[in-house]
Structure 1
């Protein structure tokens, strides 16, 4: 079995693959103060709840965008599984040409998502990851990673509004049918939802213009914790793939085996 670990700023997503099939997955909060042993024991408990013997884990692959945790999960792999993990970074074969000014600057999760999306959906393609930050990644028809855009995530903006405007309450982020609110909470929810819906579609629209070389259709796939909020309202998002990053980790693992 293969253990895949995606360390994000807000959540850590873990999955167990048996061959190409994802048989278990978990999502836990990212805590920069947790120790190797705390995370290691938590992981052992999750495996136990799934009736998986740690000895059945034959390989581990890790993607992380949190520098403070970069060393923790490789140490867990060594200490709790006696394995040397593959860590997404320079030197790891992705099978994708990275056409970025400095490829080392691209977040590991963006490359992993792009690898999985192109493998599953083909190109040209835009991947929208709605997490702590919102990232937009463009892949051309040949499977080359071209770059993209990054903007603050919806929760970051909503929290900033609550913290900086003393009379405004903290609100739940939900899809809205109307933008004109009849009270403060509804007004904030409408402004946040439709503001971000407009931002997302405007960036996608501009990226489609830049990606197209003819009449080919540009596919748009969304992933990340907030993707379900916008799929119905967006003019461009065609599909949500919540396990895109985990699939990408498996694919990169297989490419490095070869």
Structure 2
């Protein structure tokens, strides 16, 4: 069994895999990192490898306490990848974007792929049918948009994400919700439309914490999977140990 860990900006996600089957997923805070991992290892005693995407705010010492029980495997830019990286500044490419790109290549071979990860920020990553990665785009996610309106104006409130039906908001709160929710929806649909105009044989992969919320609002046909990063960690690990 393999335990994959994604250290994000606001929370930590983990998943237990038996080969390519996701057995259990858990989300926890940074402050509960060690005790949460300890509980997972106690529950699934067959876990032999811990695969982590980015240490982020996690100190390596926090992971080393488990090194006597499981193998600790870090995904980094120096290991073999299933794609050619044409990013102009490859050392600045986030590990999460690198992992998502690798997962798209391994799971959806021989086609153009656009991976959209909706979290604190929204990242767009394009890798072509020849497995060449070129880059993409980064923009604010739902939470940052709400916070920006609250922090940089005198009177706008700080709101939480809310599903809406109307394009025209009939109050200040509803106008803000419309701006954030419809604005990001239009942005993603527009980006997909523009890039599909240039390429054929395309798959759109939507992932991240807000993937399911957005999936029903987008006009374009997409493959929505909120667990895609955790699955990509597992598949990239398998690829690297077989091609090292």
TM-score above 0.5? yes
How does the TM-score come out when normalised to structure 2?
0.90
Unaligned runs of 5+ in 1: none
In structure 1, what is the Cα distance between the partners aligned to 2:182 and 2:88? 33
Asked whether the 8 Å contact 1:16–1:24 carries over to 2, the reply is yes
In structure 1, what is the Cα distance between the partners aligned to 2:90 and 2:181? 33
Superposition map of 1:36-185 within 5 A: 39-48=33-42, 51-53=43-45, 56-64=46-54, 66=56, 68-69=57-58, 72=59, 74-82=60-68, 83-122=70-109, 123-185=111-173
Q: CA RMSD in A?
A: 1.9
Match of 1:252 in 2: 236
Superposition map of 1:13-52 within 5 A: 13-29=13-29, 31=30, 34=31, 39-48=33-42, 51-52=43-44
Asked whether the 8 Å contact 2:77–2:95 carries over to 1, the reply is no
- Secondary structure at 2:240's aligned position in 1? helix
In structure 1, what is the Cα distance between the partners aligned to 2:157 and 2:77? 44
Deviations 1:203-251 (A, max 9, x none): 22233334x1xxx332111000111222122122512111111111111
Unaligned runs of 5+ in 2: none
Superposition map of 1:218-257 within 5 A: 218-257=202-241
Structure 1 residue 113, shift from structure 2 partner: 1.0
